[in-house]
Amino acid sequence: MSSNKPIGIFDSGVGGTSIWREIHHLLPNEKTIYLADSKNAPYGEKPRDEIVALSTKNVEKLLALDCKIIVVACNTATTNAIEDLRQKYRIPFVGIEPAIKPAALKSRSKKIGILATKGTLSSELFYSTAELHSKGTEITEVVGTGLVELIESGQKDSQEMELLLKNLLTPFIENNIDFLVLGCSHYPYIIPVIKKLLPPHVTIIDSGEAVAKQTKNLLKDNNILSEENRGSCIFLTNKNPEILKGFVNSEAATHEVSYLDF
């Protein structure tokens, strides 16, 4: 039986709109509710217990809004909290993990880089995924300290961003990687700056398209695909809605962006 209930999506801020965009493009008939917990961003430096508590709070809010499936559009929340969420709730969950497997398989130099938050890189799920898929591949890991804060404040194209990235990307250049995996849903918004600073042979990979496909598959498997002709999009944030509007206004035809204290 099809369901016209919304898909719930949450992130530690505006970054997960990069995931929402892929879902909206693949499933334009689905209603979506996006929850931006910008008040508590970034999650990447927080202890695991706090990440689980924040993720649970977000799920409770989306369940109260009658969502039929929840996408955890945050690498840090996925790698630290999704197993807890799946044990606690019966609703289907889709997570997001760094795309280590395709990068390792396609790399010719067998040297890849991962730019992610501290919370993602230090998680058990990330460690086990890297161990499983990176046999024979050298991985250079860099914590993207400061990147989320700049993106959340609307400075993704700023001079500060370029200066920060120059420093963060140096180990990747020195180690001659040929694939860079983006391990945070905020980071696709700074791909133009990253491309400008990395050698042209480096391929950048994010997980957005794969998450959208997995969302569609789960909707099909659970017989809850929408029967509507076009879905509406609601965006909720507990900080400045003007920042969030700047990330979605050109993408969603029928949408609203609102402040919500959660």
> Is 233 an active-site residue?
no
> Is 74 an active-site residue?
yes
In the structure encoding, which two tokens stand for residue 87, read together? Answer: 């044990």
Task: Tell me which of 74, 143, 164, 244 is the catalytic residue.
Answer: 74
How many other β-carbons are positioned within 10 Å of the β-carbon of residue 89? 14
Task: Tell me which of 72, 184, 234, 252 is the catalytic residue.
Answer: 184
Q: Report the C-alpha gap between 231 and 33 in whole angstroms.
A: 10
What count of Cα atoms within 13 Å lies in the side-chain half-sphere of residue 97? Answer: 21
Termini Cα distance of the chain: 32
Residues serving a catalytic function are: 74, 184
